[in-house]
Amino acid sequence: MKPVHVAVIMDGNGRWALNKNLPRYDGHWKGAEVAEDIIEWCNDREIKYLTLFSFSTENWKRPQAEINMIFHILAKYLSDRLNKVIEKNARLHFIGDLDALNPETRLICLNSEQSTSKCTGMVINLAVNYSGRSEILKAAQEWNGKDEFESHLYTAGQPDPDFLIRTGGEKRISNFMLWQMAYTELYFTDVLWPDFSESDLDLALEDFSKRERRFGGIG
């Protein structure tokens, strides 16, 4: 059994840098490299949807210099790697409130989404300035009671995640895709995100393959 939709909480960039006596931004740069790698690995394994938790609404509490660096890295990777994404026929989709981003980064995000909108391969959801509670509240405010509630979520038209991987040792979902994860299988690893490897992904997917998903029924 292989998941159709994998979600990832990419945790541990700062601790990875601290362990190596490096500035925290080095951890974010390395984490971005691994994010690019996992897109490749999941695409090779024919996983149709991949959602990466890139920046939460709670992350605004971090030092401004670190926040600026995170968005600089995001903008640079989107600008430099967009053609590579298009070549793979992958589609970028952003979930979260992009209005709070600086205008330049927001425009890069929207242009990246538009440029890949006709791609029909793997879907890459990037959760930026994302909050699961805020998403549900937004959907509830828009819902008229006549259409499907899910049509007002950021992930409208997509299947819910089958599998969540969280790195870094924490065992919680941290306000991530609260509606969509009602029946998601959870996997936690102590590996810090910048150290997450292809073999770590395969270990996680092997674990998933052994699980029996009953959705409240009887196996």
Banded model confidence at residue 213, pLDDT cuts 50, 70, 90? confident
Is residue 195 flagged as an active site residue?
no
| Contact criterion met (CB below 8 Å) for 99 and 25 | no
Q: Which residues contact 164 (CB under 8 A, 6 or more apart)?
A: 6, 7, 8, 9, 173, 176, 177, 181, 184, 185, 186, 187
Handedness of CA 120, 135, 75, 25 (dihedral sign): negative
pTM of this structure: 0.96
Q: What pLDDT, in 10s, does the model give residues 5-58?
A: 999 999 999 999 999 999 999 999 999 999 999 999 999 999 999 999 999 999
Average pLDDT over the chain reads 96
Banded model confidence at residue 217, pLDDT cuts 50, 70, 90? confident
- Report the residue count for the chain: 219
Is residue 102 flagged as an active site residue?
no
Active-site option among 37, 43, 59, 200:
59
Distance CA 125, CA 104 (A): 20
| Contact criterion met (CB below 8 Å) for 194 and 34 | yes
Q: What pLDDT, in 10s, does the model give residues 165-182?
A: 999 999 999 999 999 999
